[in-house]
Structure 1
């Protein structure tokens, strides 16, 4: 069945939702939407005020849709001192499950933080993989960064968000790394987009693997400028678009690539709402987006 697009004569089956937050991250989930994946309009927020974790903040909201149409979201709950992340699920971004705190690093008493959890649905094993950055002082060699800022990536997996596999080291590239996202290109063909968080670099690179759990090899040179982070990736036509926060320049930027080897800046082709911060992109149906736009309109009318 062909579904007509919102206010348009063209037929379109899916639109895009981009999760976000607003500094100082105490209000909760903001959303933007797009018809083409390039130009984004604000749906406002907060759609989910944060209550999980000690600090009651919501940074870096990451979502993935399961095979039953439920969207699962994880987020950073504490800038420092936390040993887990927040979790909630929804089918429409308006009604949410009870928020939970998942203490994935409680077995590490010296852990400094749990940052930017990213959720990925692995359709080959029918499970969700969640990866995040943590610092455990003196666990790994470091460069110029302090022991409290020497991150590695960790992971856990779950099928039901009730039982989780033991947390394990996901990526040890030999340098401080945060903000990694898993991309599936094909059968046994995966890309990991990551931030090299070492002091001289603080930019984005890619690595390659045959499984969403790695091992990850052939880490590339940087494809973004100094002081960039928070990548998210979508596939449109024959291109992969990588959006990221250029926090040094205080802008949101994007590159396109056909193969994760050649990258082309497309900043002039994109637009995002003012204040948009680190989130991820998912597809939604026209009916779901209509509901969200109605909700957003009603919220503005009631202000």
Structure 2
């Protein structure tokens, strides 16, 4: 089938939309690269079935994308389990053609750092800068809790306006226990929520803390809002509600909650392809989705 005919068929087979939701994803063992899901309502998701970006080194886990005011998609990800001082970064204007991958070595002045896990990127409109947060364990840095020192994580952050110059890393949030997988949510002006995983062995569930600025300080950490063995939260606003997607890895499935205030939650039924793992949700145009579908079709071997 020639490419022109294939493109026409794709246009008619896909529901037209000005904007669609996209969900970043990876597949274990995270060596093949970035996967994407798409949805027209933010509830029923379809796998694009293909790798959008292959890691040049090691792994690509926990991919987080935000579309900036420059109309580029900025991607960060976990690029090593342990022993690294940074996270992966690349950018694209169409989700097809990507810049050269690089490692942002945000913890190189902390030689005791065990790991850098699940970087999450957030664009702060008020300060016109990107905030990137991640979890790191630095043995003996914090009071001994119930976790091993190499698993006693806290959240750190850096800021940048251009992905060339970055602020010195700072402690982002210390709730007094091991914490990973945190995401910033702007509820409204001067009101922010932080959805996080309490990573202590008895808990391993999601909680929420609050602040008046995206960089904190965060406080009033809630009780657990999910069950045991849950992680990897991703949030999206649909109308007047937010959905919180999360990996219910204890039961080997994905779940979601909905809320209007991050204090009261109800279950949201969703449709998620099997194998989907820890990502973030953003939007792209329907036209860009069609181009991406065509490109992925072209990458598949001819039968």
Question: TM-score higher than 0.5 here?
Answer: yes
Q: Which consecutive unaligned segments of at least 5 residues does structure 2 have?
A: 1-10
Q: Is 2:223 the counterpart of 1:240?
A: no
- Matching of residues 39-118 of structure 1 within 5 Å: 39-52=44-57, 56-118=58-120
- Matching of residues 218-229 of structure 1 within 5 Å: 218-229=220-231
Q: Is 2:266 the counterpart of 1:264?
A: yes
2:298 aligned counterpart, secondary structure: helix
Larger displacement relative to structure 2 (8-17 or 155-164) = 8-17
Shift of 1:197: 0.5
Shift of 1:301: 5.4
Shift of 1:11: 7.5
Q: Which consecutive unaligned segments of at least 5 residues does structure 1 have?
A: 1-5
Do the aligned partners of 2:16 and 2:286 also contact (CA within 8 Å) in 1? no
**Off by >6 Å, runs of 4+ in structure 1:** 8-11
With normalisation by structure 1, the TM-score equals: 0.93
Name the CA distance, whole Å, in 1 between partners of 2:69 and 2:14.
29
- Matching of residues 1-303 of structure 1 within 5 Å: 12-52=17-57, 56-266=58-268, 269-300=269-300, 302=302
Going from structure 1 to structure 2, the CA distance change for 1:185 and 1:35 (only over 3 Å counts) comes to same
**Partner deviation per Cα, 1:46-71 (whole Å, 9 max, x = no partner):** 1111114xxx1000000111012101
Name the CA distance, whole Å, in 1 between partners of 2:249 and 2:37.
19
CA RMSD of aligned residues (A): 1.5
**Partner deviation per Cα, 1:195-225 (whole Å, 9 max, x = no partner):** 0001100000111100000000111111111
Going from structure 1 to structure 2, the CA distance change for 1:131 and 1:42 (only over 3 Å counts) comes to same
With normalisation by structure 2, the TM-score equals: 0.93
